[in-house]
Amino acid sequence: MSAPAEAPVLAVHDVRKTFGETTALDGLSFEVRRHEVVGLIGENGAGKSTLLKMLIGLEQPDSGSIALRGEQIKMRGIAQAGAAGIGMVFQEQSLIPNLTVAENILFGAEGDAIVGGMYRWKTLRQRAQAQLDKIGSTIDVDAMAEDLTFAERQLVEIAKVLATEERTNAEPVVLLDEPTSVLDRDEAEVLFAQIERLRTRASVVFVSHRLDEVLQVSDRVYVLRNGSSVAECVPGEVDEAELRRLMIGRDLEGSHYSEERQLPVQDEVRLRVRDLSVKGVCESVDFDLHVGEILGIAGVQGSGREELCRGIFGASATRGSLEMDGRPIRTSSPRSAISSDIGFVPAERRREGMVGTMSVAENITLPHIADVCAGPVLQRSKERRLADDWIERLRIRTASAAAPLASLSGGNQQKAVLARWMVSDSLKLLILDHPTRGLDVGAKSEVYRLIRELTASGVSVLLMADSLEELIAMSHRVLVMKDGRVTDVVDAPVGAKPTPVTVLERMI
């Protein structure tokens, strides 16, 4: 008689969850075995983040069951989940801004680092440093979280969840929700090595829109669609194209980046930048951006590219000169930039790009409130019609335009932030800071198509992208920055795109 099969570490059976009229999970089942990395993929709104929040105790199922190490569980919060050995890296970062890195890493699990209600700072720092050492990070444990870059905060999130393996006698379960979304390739490889180390005494659930990464690190992959698991795949037996088809239920036509739709730029200069500087970050930047052109900006962290774009939008103080369509402009604030027909999609949508308590419709029309008013009176019906049009065009998954933006999945929030600028007929320049971050392949394809449509109508675009492949494929030219200065401008015409290596060599 054969021995009974070992029970999975984590088993989800027929779980259902609704939010008002929206069905987030619809009879979802999946399991994670010991020492296994399970990939979880799906379109935005497919239910991935809802499932993970349920496992960590932030949401409760309406029906169905969840078992941990063979026992039925119902987590009532992050602290209870942590005590049971479940830790999570959130897609939307959860660090407390006014605490130090050390305090954030060990928050709620300080143990002997607190005596009599007082921190033993030396112990706290040593234990936090041990977690950062696991991922090879040089971040100062005494730094305030609010002073870190987005990528640095993500590394602290990862260090925080790695501490879970030392807080329980049982083998932990680590949930990673888009952990590489803001990491460069070297940082991502460090994380992958850490996942391999973790799996020797833990089980891992890995969620990512980067399908090559999912295939690289996972033993099995579950494909979610409309709140259900529609396929279970084994890497080596499927490729990225098949995973995309399973995710969206159809084949994507042509390149995701729609390179064949790239149109020639016009001779007319839309934006002329001369001797532009942001104090302590970038110096004497010169470039021209033509009508209908997508100018990609490449550079490693600290190159000054983000600060340059924020300066052009008026979010950072600058010196130098800007001309729009041959006329001098001064963007001393975001308000003045918007009045000059400039739009900006920031990388950190939750902190800078949206008002979560306002409705989807209100967020979309926020910079253009005059367009939906009759005199001083807001016309709600006009606002809803405008929002509904863009909800349909961008396939934003929401119960209605009246739903709070914070209730949508991260990727659908991003699409609403994009729609905010696309509604304007007067838009001349759109600055995009990682516009497809957190979007699935189907949504990315839609965003690429819409960006092409904008440039065909004469809008010019400054683009910073998640990867060099995306940046090169979408751009007419690539402006390369290093140490706060422009080091090169690389042409990227259709049919003769430079390789990522060519651009990378100019970045470092």
Domain parsing of the chain, residue ranges: 35-61+76-248, 252-341+426-508, 350-423
Residue 24 contacts residue 17 (beta carbons within 8 Å) = yes
* pLDDT recorded at residue 206: 95
* pLDDT recorded at residue 252: 52
List beta partners, residue 294: 461
* pLDDT recorded at residue 75: 87
Residue 261 contacts residue 446 (beta carbons within 8 Å) = no
* pLDDT recorded at residue 253: 52
Considering only CA atoms, which of 430, 431, 464, 435 is closest in space to residue 448?
Answer: 435
* pLDDT recorded at residue 260: 67
Residue 206 CB-half CA count within 13 A = 31
* pLDDT recorded at residue 421: 87
The string of DSSP codes covering 166-211 is GS-SSPPEEEEESTTTT--HHHHHHHHHHHHHHTTT-EEEEE-S-H
* pLDDT recorded at residue 1: 38
For residues 305 and 479, give the distance between their C-alpha atoms in angstroms, rounded to a whole number. 10
Determine the 3-state secondary structure of 324 from DSSP.
strand
Q: In this structure, which amino acid lies at residue 220?
A: R
* pLDDT recorded at residue 103: 92
The top-level CATH class assigned to 252-341+426-508 is alpha beta
For residues 482 and 183, give the distance between their C-alpha atoms in angstroms, rounded to a whole number. 18
Residue with tokens 């605490």: 99
Determine the 3-state secondary structure of 148 from DSSP.
coil
* pLDDT recorded at residue 504: 82
Residue 457 contacts residue 266 (beta carbons within 8 Å) = no
* pLDDT recorded at residue 251: 57
Paired tokens of 71? 């026992």
**Strand 220-225 versus strand 228-233 pairing type:** antiparallel
List beta partners, residue 343: 430
Q: How many other β-carbons are positioned within 10 Å of the β-carbon of residue 198?
A: 21
Paired tokens of 107? 């928050």
Paired tokens of 4? 């009974």
Residue 146 contacts residue 155 (beta carbons within 8 Å) = no
* pLDDT recorded at residue 395: 81
* pLDDT recorded at residue 54: 92
* pLDDT recorded at residue 119: 85
φ, ψ of residue 352 in degrees (nearest 5): -125, -15
* pLDDT recorded at residue 81: 87
pLDDT tens digits, the chain, 508 residues: what are they? 343 457 899 999 999 998 877 788 999 999 999 999 999 998 877 889 889 999 999 999 999 999 999 999 888 888 888 888 898 887 666 788 899 999 999 887 788 888 888 888 999 999 999 989 887 888 999 999 989 877 788 788 888 887 777 777 778 898 998 888 767 777 788 788 878 887 887 899 999 888 899 999 999 999 998 899 999 999 999 998 899 888 877 655 555 666 767 888 889 999 999 999 998 889 999 999 999 999 999 988 778 899 999 999 998 888 999 999 999 998 989 989 999 999 999 887 777 788 888 999 999 988 878 888 888 888 888 888 889 998 988 888 888 899 999 888 777 888 888 888 888 888 999 999 988 877 777 777 778 888 888 899 999 999 998 788 889 989 999 999 998 999 999 998 887 888 888 888 888 7
| Domain 35-61+76-248: CATH superfamily, name plus number | P-loop containing nucleotide triphosphate hydrolases (3.40.50.300)
Residue 247 contacts residue 214 (beta carbons within 8 Å) = no
Q: How far is CA 313 from CA 46, 316, 344, in A?
A: 34, 8, 7
The DSSP code for 214 is H
pTM of the model: 0.70
* pLDDT recorded at residue 101: 94
* pLDDT recorded at residue 10: 95
Paired tokens of 496? 């003769």
Determine the 3-state secondary structure of 29 from DSSP.
strand
Q: How many other β-carbons are positioned within 10 Å of the β-carbon of residue 359?
A: 21
* pLDDT recorded at residue 321: 93
The DSSP code for 262 is P
